[in-house]
Amino acid sequence: MPIPRMAFGNLDEFTTVDAIKAAIAEFICTITFVFPAEGCALVFSKMITTGGPATGLITASLSHGFALFAAVSIGANISGGHVNPAVTFGAFVGGHITFFRSILYWIAQLLGSVVSVYLLKFATNGLEVSPYPPTLPWNAVIFEIVMTFLLVYTYYATSFDPKKGNMGIISPIAIGLIVAANILSGGALFGAAMNPAIAFGQALISWTWTHHWVYWLGNFIGATIAALVYQTIFIGQSNDREQLPITEF
């Protein structure tokens, strides 16, 4: 089967109004996701003294799932509501976004995560979100690949697929639920993050870069596999496939 067409666009996309609006939307969506999700994890790590690790795991899954549901919902009609560099990369691999617009999204997502963790530090009078560097990096890579595959595949099935029909209405719910389920699967216990932007914000504020490569390698591999599988097998080269906001020149 042919490899999906990749659209690179051109440098003019950095100055187009719709591209800049989409980048701003990604920035806001990322803050909408990271601030409440990481804030919840931070608060409970300081307040919960009983209940064991299961309590924290369930809390983290719910906070991330709910926050991502809201973030995707408010960005879906503008930027596609990626909120994750790996999702953007998966969309690029499948030809649903250009390379130059992807760069704009990545910058916005990383900046949104960094602003979020520093806002949390300021709002909590100095508390910082502590990263959890994987003690078994290659185990974490496997978790990242599998969890990101499930996440990006869900995006394709409910958002990118032109045949999705009414499925697009529940896309943010499905995406939030798969993230919550992935967290409950135990990936977090091995240091998996499922989102390079979150890992980057945590690493920057604490200046802890131990095995940070895990969160890029695993996520981008998982996203690539999901994009190739869904785009090649279920969407193909159909001319009526739905494109995310993209400008043709």
pLDDT digits (tens, 9 = 90+) for 41-82: 766 666 554 555 567 777 888 889 999 999 999 999 999 999
What are the contacts of 41-45 at 24+ separation with CB within 8 A?
A: 41/129, 42/120, 42/124, 42/127, 42/128, 42/129, 43/124, 45/130
Query: Which pLDDT score is estimated for 59?
Result: 80
Cβ neighbours of residue 5 under 8 Å, at least 6 residues apart?
95, 237
Query: Which pLDDT score is estimated for 197?
Result: 95
Query: Which pLDDT score is estimated for 126?
Result: 85
- Delineate the domains of the chain, giving CATH numbers in brackets: 11-235 (1.20.1080.10)
Q: For residue range 94-113, list pLDDT tens digits in order.
A: 999 999 999 999 999 999 99
Cβ neighbours of residue 131 under 8 Å, at least 6 residues apart?
199, 202, 203, 206, 208
Place of tokens 């939307």: 25
Query: Which pLDDT score is estimated for 241?
Result: 45
Query: Which pLDDT score is estimated for 186?
Result: 65
Query: Which pLDDT score is estimated for 212?
Result: 93
Query: Which pLDDT score is estimated for 222?
Result: 95
Q: Give the pLDDT means over successive 10-residue stretches in the chain (249 positions).
A: 77 86 87 78 60 68 91 93 96 94 96 94 85 83 92 94 85 93 74 88 92 95 95 74 42
Query: Which pLDDT score is estimated for 239?
Result: 46
